[in-house]
Chains A and B, each alone.
Chain A
């Protein structure tokens, strides 16, 4: 019985990179997917179906089992804490989570305000540091917050550091390294064990061989 595995992926760059990995792992995928507006893309030759979601939503689809597997950034995994297996580090889309703020900003407040797209990660991090903070949730352009006085510091992902620099912010503390992870629904992990194990192993071999080259 050849079942189709449903794979939830973030739209955009990660999708491109992941599809490239799958091709290299031997999955017969068409050279390009031009249906850029489609949310569901079937790749019957490879026995795969992709659903394209917002990065933050990928673990939700996988937890509820409407997708068997997914590709999600570690940042999203930390923020969402979904009940899914995190089976493989794909080592793509590398970046890190960090605390940033104005260069000479001195927190005078008892509880400084922290703006972030990752409120759970931020509160968890500062609690671990034993610091009392107030977290404000924003959905994007986080760098604005300290510039116009909404927050004292921010927690966000940094890849090159250019956005921070251009906005006159400096990185203060690093929280965690981030890469994309292959995640699996717990029931699918057993029901489609053979197919999923095969996929994981093929990708693992590929990722490890790339590591060796570096």
Chain B
């Protein structure tokens, strides 16, 4: 193996340069503020976790995990998501804090890229978890908060698609009468292979009504009317109850004034296998992948021995920033170029300006080779040069 060039980085790892960093921070801080104003408390968890705890519980494919060994030979992973670590914290360090809990995070997560570049292997997620709350109000709160973040940031033509894993599973098992056959169809839906799903359904020995019910499932995408269409598929009692809950959820969202951008989509399946109830994804113009995603995960906490219903979502900062489009870096910086004789004067000027909240660079003239090139980088340059006293003459 040849040694890497100095500019090379492991696949999918990226540098963030000043202009992008600042923009990213500004946007992130606004998102965090919104979450804080809803009473969510931010926490931080370690970058490294055990494979056997968080690695196993996370829904990220095994081959996407970065693994390493600790001194004792135990397998560690770079955290691939934040939901599993937070479940661990809630069931251990925060074991004695009563439910419901409202926690938030803003952290990089790591997912190895198998195939090629073009997608980062490390990216930042900002998200919330509402743990120990199983009601529709919790679902409404999560969806409303996500919508609020999108709305306040003015993401162009944002849409939130809401699906329900439980409804689909229940409907398939009900029609097919056994879970194995339902499993085959679920696999097609998961793979987004509707051609395969359709031809498989047509092969099954079913009444034409049942065949139609299964095929119609693929069309359950759209506004609130989709829920009525779903009722017409004649789901069993559990299914009907789910639909009623979704209707109620929609009305709750209307109260939040967050229903305009919601669409229902029963074909929505998440890569995250721990979801049990509603799942949702947020999209914005120009971004070919979900900018935010979340759902209800009522079984994850029991893996950490503190059983509780929970719901949460995460926003991918890289897509979110991209969706907002390129922004000119408008952070202004000034520079004081000084010579040794006037150092004190320069210090005083800098202190005053910094006190006013300005960003001020102090630079000794003798340390700069090309003054023109250097001063171009600033919005304002003050020259405190030579022995003469008095006003700076910038």
Contacts and interface: CB of A to CB of B under 8 A. Distances in A.
Contacts of A63: 288
Given A190-B161, A190-B283, A66 B288 contact: yes
Contacts of B222: 193
A191 B285 CA distance: 7
A171 interface: no
A208 to B, nearest CB: 11
A190 B195 contact: no
B221 A187 contact: no
Contacts of A84: 192
Given A87-B195, A190-B265, A193-B221, A65 B289 contact: yes
Interface string A61-85: 0011110000000000000000111
B375 interface: no
Main secondary structure on B side of the interface with A: mixed
A88 B195 contact: yes
B195 A86 contact: yes
Main secondary structure on A side of the interface with B: mixed
B289 A186 contact: yes
B6 to A, nearest CB: 29
A80 to B, nearest CB: 9
Interface in B188-203: 192-196, 199
A116 interface: no
A7 to B, nearest CB: 14
A86 B288 contact: no
A185 interface: yes
Contacts of A187: 283, 287-290
B118 interface: yes
Shortest beta-carbon contacts, A-B, top 8:
A65-B288, A85-B192, A187-B283, A89-B195, A190-B161, A86-B193, A87-B194, A185-B288
14 contacts: A64-B288, A65-B286, A65-B288, A88-B195, A89-B195, A89-B199, A185-B288, A186-B290, A187-B288, A187-B289, A188-B288, A190-B161, A190-B221, A193-B263
